Structure 1
Amino acid sequence: MSKPKVYVTDFEFPNLQYEENVILPIDAELIGVQCKTEEDIIEKCKDAVGLINQYAPISRKVMEALPNLKVVARYGVGVNTIDLPAATDLGIIAANVPDYCMDEVSDHAMALILACARKVVLMNNEVKKGNWDYKVSIPLYRVRGKNLGLLSFGRIAQALAKKALAFGMNLLVFDPYVPESVAKEYGAKLVSLEELLKEADFISVHSPLTPETEHMISTKEFAMMKKSAFIINTGRGPVIDEEALKQALGEGLIAGAGLDVLEIEPPAAENPLLKMDNVVINPHVAWYSVEAEAELRTKTARNVAEVLQGYFPKYLVNKDVKVKLQLKEQ
């Protein structure tokens, strides 16, 4: 009898050692492939019992074409690559890793806030061009006492809140799913989106990407912001309407941006954001540390292993699927 096959649909790692350390001991086979399209997955993973997924689209079409599929586990917090209603309809488990990089992303968001506030990148570039003159940074304003607006208030934003308080910042939170009592626990004030946009000196985006949050920050929202405000995004690129952001920056409606994510990654060489001195751009790296990568890959593989061993995974996303499956609780 052949071993159950677990495919990694796509990955950017040099090897799959962490995944192998979890999957091979349960007497399953791990196969790494590189798929970009639905057709790629259907062709290369047709006998999959489990999928480990990064960016490849796990659509209804894909899942219907893989008759043995039991579980799809995604590297990361977001599950926007997986058609969740289809997975539930088909009795397929979807899983993620919601708790692996809270320190890394919140640290990175704080780093981008400080880089924007202190114009660190601009001055570094000027010095390397031979211009030793602090006046290129004028004006700079102190961070203490400034308002930090947090769009969404999940684990990462809460971790950032603690760090921002240490810098003496005031915290504003917009999250329709969080009660006021939770915001108060972190010394934050729960406000409307409009109030946050008008009052914040820095806005840090942590919203998941959903139909409701796509282009949540667009032309109307930028018009409400202070001209001295900066927007920081370590969440999902499409939450910010990039064309509206370019216009707002070009017209001086806001002071600048710190972006770890974009609508299209990597950006085109002619993207004007790459040429703006008041924009800091990183290559979707906020999640990364040596420790976080090991944790992410191990926990993602463990989600698959738990299902193959007859258990609901610890990080089950589509909980409605439970009624269709005869698996044990852990």
Structure 2
Amino acid sequence: MKPYVFITRRMPEETIADLTDRFEVKMWDHEDIPAPREVLLAEAKKASGMITMLSDKIDEELLSAGENLKVVANLAVGFDNVDLEAATKRGIVVTNTPDVLTETTADLTFALLMAAARRIVEAADYIKADKWKGWGPYLLAGNDVYGKTIGIVGMGKIGEAVARRAKGFGMDILYHNRSRKPEAEKEIGAIYSSFDDVVTKADFVVSLAPLTAETKNLFTAEVFAKMKKSSIFINVGRGPVVDEQALYEALKRGEIAAAGLDVFEKEPISAGHPLLELPTVTALPHIGSASTETRTTMIRLCSANVKVVLSGDTPKTVVNKEVLQ
């Protein structure tokens, strides 16, 4: 029998042709509705390989159910949804999709920053609601971007790409990261700063930090209180790095001016989410890398990784490299 591969969302057939030509492949029959937990567990029991989404919980229970499971290809740069220790213990290769989505996510980050600053979504809704009856000097007036200070928390490849865009807007660039980036400092003019300096001095505080034990709830009420009242908070990293109740209160009290959010603590969120009630919040449904070209490249990379592992070769982008030793 051919090895069995389960894909947790529906994808275009042409993007997974490498798999369908060689293996038995089944896809969950929805593009944007997650497979129920019982389905994931049942499929894991049969699968040799899985292509999963960041919202799929690939924990010890699921991995232990996968008696034949050899590879989990996560369609994301992040992999905090996968229990790496449990996968490694069982000899299961975990892969991700780094590098291929850097520029696309940076585009979205800067677009969200500009949309929040210039009230783009609010203005579009205003005209669609037939509220535009005349012109006034401060009608839907937002904040300038050019010449301001951006503070980037999490200066990985996406952070550096955002910094390059900020340089084109004549912005001063502060950044905080676990390690300094001398090349970015030299080429882009980014200035390494403490976390406190970033949040107190920046006009735009941009979180691109991965989710770790250290970064969970990094942005608290105390942090928002340190920001300028005119500052705008942008999060395109991970939702749980933010205390969402603290962010809501800071926005409601006017401690910060606005927020642009592509990620949330628990996803998907519903229309009743408190942050969505605030006109100063520009919210997106986790679409950081969602361009047709980039998502297609990501799927093909996942497919290639599954194929090579099930064929006995080494995949391109392994997260738990120790499993190959």
Q: Same fold (TM over 0.5)?
A: yes
Shift of the alpha carbon at 1:14?
Answer: 5.4
Native 8 Å contact 1:123 1:137 kept in 2: no
Shift of the alpha carbon at 1:228?
Answer: 0.3
1:172 equivalent in structure 2: 174
Native 8 Å contact 1:232 1:259 kept in 2: yes
Q: In the alignment, does 2:18 pair up with 1:22?
A: yes
1:326 equivalent in structure 2: none
Moved more, 169-178 or 240-249: 169-178
> Kindly tell me: are residues 229 and 5 of structure 1, through their superposed partners in 2, closer, same or farther at Cα, counting changes over 3 Å?
same
1:250 equivalent in structure 2: 252
1:111 equivalent in structure 2: 111
Trace 1:248-327 onto structure 2 (pairs within 5 A): 248-323=250-325
Looking at structure 1, the residues matched to 283 and 127 of structure 2 have their Cα atoms a distance apart, in angstroms, of 19
Looking at structure 2, the residues matched to 121 and 44 of structure 1 have their Cα atoms a distance apart, in angstroms, of 41
1:206 equivalent in structure 2: 208
Task: Please list the CA deviations of residues 165-191 of structure 1 after superposition, one character each: whole Å capped at 9, or x if unmatched.
Answer: 001011111101334454333210011
* Unaligned 5+ runs, structure 1: 324-330
Native 8 Å contact 1:113 1:258 kept in 2: yes
Following superposition, which runs of at least 4 residues in structure 1 exceed 6 angstroms of deviation?
none
2:49 equivalent in structure 1: 50
2:27 equivalent in structure 1: 32
Looking at structure 2, the residues matched to 113 and 59 of structure 1 have their Cα atoms a distance apart, in angstroms, of 34
> Kindly tell me: are residues 134 and 284 of structure 1, through their superposed partners in 2, closer, same or farther at Cα, counting changes over 3 Å?
farther
Native 8 Å contact 2:123 2:140 kept in 1: no
Instruction: Specify the SS of the correspondent of 2:121.
Output: helix
1:67 equivalent in structure 2: 67
The amino acid of 2:164's aligned partner reads: K
Shift of the alpha carbon at 1:287?
Answer: 1.1
Looking at structure 2, the residues matched to 70 and 85 of structure 1 have their Cα atoms a distance apart, in angstroms, of 14
The amino acid of 2:95's aligned partner reads: A
Native 8 Å contact 1:122 1:137 kept in 2: no
Alignment size in residue pairs: 317
Moved more, 94-103 or 175-184: 175-184
Shift of the alpha carbon at 1:319?
Answer: 1.4
Native 8 Å contact 2:105 2:158 kept in 1: yes
Among 229, 232, 235, the alignment partner of 2:234 is: 232
Alpha-carbon RMSD: 1.8
Looking at structure 2, the residues matched to 284 and 318 of structure 1 have their Cα atoms a distance apart, in angstroms, of 25
Looking at structure 2, the residues matched to 201 and 126 of structure 1 have their Cα atoms a distance apart, in angstroms, of 26
Give the TM-score of the pair, scaled to structure 1.
0.90
Moved more, 124-133 or 311-320: 124-133
2:94 equivalent in structure 1: 94
The amino acid of 1:302's aligned partner reads: A
Task: Please list the CA deviations of residues 184-237 of structure 1 after superposition, one character each: whole Å capped at 9, or x if unmatched.
Answer: 332100111000000000011111112221111111110110000001111211
> Kindly tell me: are residues 180 and 312 of structure 1, through their superposed partners in 2, closer, same or farther at Cα, counting changes over 3 Å?
same
Instruction: Specify the SS of the correspondent of 1:173.
Output: strand
Shift of the alpha carbon at 1:16?
Answer: 4.1
Looking at structure 2, the residues matched to 101 and 134 of structure 1 have their Cα atoms a distance apart, in angstroms, of 41
Give the TM-score of the pair, scaled to structure 2.
0.92
Native 8 Å contact 1:151 1:206 kept in 2: yes
Task: Please list the CA deviations of residues 34-68 of structure 1 after superposition, one character each: whole Å capped at 9, or x if unmatched.
Answer: 6332x432323312111111132211222122111
Q: In the alignment, does 2:131 pair up with 1:130?
A: yes
1:216 equivalent in structure 2: 218
Instruction: Specify the SS of the correspondent of 1:100.
Output: coil
Instruction: Specify the SS of the correspondent of 2:48.
Output: strand
